[in-house]
Amino acid sequence: MELRDLYSFKEFNVVITGGAGVLGGEIACALLGVGANVAIIDRDTKRAEQLIEHLGCPEGCAITVYGDVLKKDTLEKALEVITNEFGQIHALINAAGGNHPSATTKPELPFFDLPLDALRHVGDLNLLGTILPCQVFGRGMAERGEGVILNVSSMNAFRPLTRVPAYSAAKAAISNFTQWLAVHMAQEYSPRIRVNAIAPGFFLTEQNRFLLTDEETGNLTERGQAIITHTPMNRFGTPEDLLGAAMWLLSPASAFVTGIVVPIDGGFSAFSGV
């Protein structure tokens, strides 16, 4: 196969959870741009529809389906809708996830008082919110003996970041689960089912803006500045920075790659600080 054909996504059907979000939305748009059919699963289907409208992609290439990654029955329904529309699903991207302010320590909220509900929500959203879609959309891949799964881990997974204990633990669990499922799918079903993850560094989005910038001035917080100082490339990531690695892991160009977690972090994880 020619190199350029490895990156042809025509007739390639992708499901992306959290596809109305900042990072998932960027990947969804890029996939549509290279000819894939994309089904966006999110709780806010209106936002997903706006995204698709904005792109003006050919009719039938993109659909939005309601689904809550923590409610398996909604994912089963989404599977039915997407299969009716597109046929078999070639790839799943698990981009729903994130932290929550109430699971974040601060002077007025020490670790010892973090509410159980908040801890559980962040743990569940990231880990179960990845496992459940893999169960629902991975079954067809196992039956057919081929497919690609791309999870979204984080820098937190390599070494925990301060203040976000549940988020750090959940992302470490996603990296671990990515390796587990890669081995399980290859050994139990088919070596043509690959499971990998990307680990974005720091991207200024709605879920971390309160940690990285001052709400009133918009200036970097001490934490935001510390991140930039520890990022050799000296900037936050932009959503487009994820695209090369995501496309590679989804395409046959990475046919012999499974069970890896790729940092996309401007060198943050390589830098000792000295």
Residue nearest to ligand NAP (CB): 21
Two structure tokens written together for 77:
């329904």
Query: Smallest gap, in angstroms, from Cβ of residue 22 to ligand NAP?
Result: 4
* Strands in the chain per DSSP E: 13-17, 37-42, 62-66, 91-94, 147-152, 193-200, 261-264
Active-site residue flag, 66: no
Among 69, 78, 91, 261, binds ligand NAP (CB under 6 A): 69
Find the angle CA(138)-CA(143)-CA(148) to the nearest 5 degrees. 40
Least CB distance to ligand NAP at residue 67 (A): 6
Using CA atoms, how far residue 103 sits from 162, 165, 188, 268, in Å, is 12, 8, 37, 24
CB of 191 to ligand NAP, least distance (A): 27
Q: Which residue has the tokens 């190199």?
A: 3
Q: Of these, 13, 27, 39, 68, which contacts ligand NAP (CB under 6 A)?
A: 68
Residue 39 in the binding site for ligand NAP (CB under 6 A): no
Residue closer to ligand NAP, measured from CB, 41 or 189:
41
Ordered DSSP codes for 218-264: -PBPHHHHHHHHT-TT-S-B-GGGGHHHHHHHHSGGGTT--S-EEEE
Out of 138, 200, 224, 266, which residue is the one contacting ligand NAP (CB under 6 A)? Answer: 200
Binding site for ligand NAP (CB under 6 A): 17-18, 20-24, 42-44, 67-70, 95-98, 125, 129, 152, 154, 200, 202-203, 205-208
Cite the active site residues.
Answer: 167
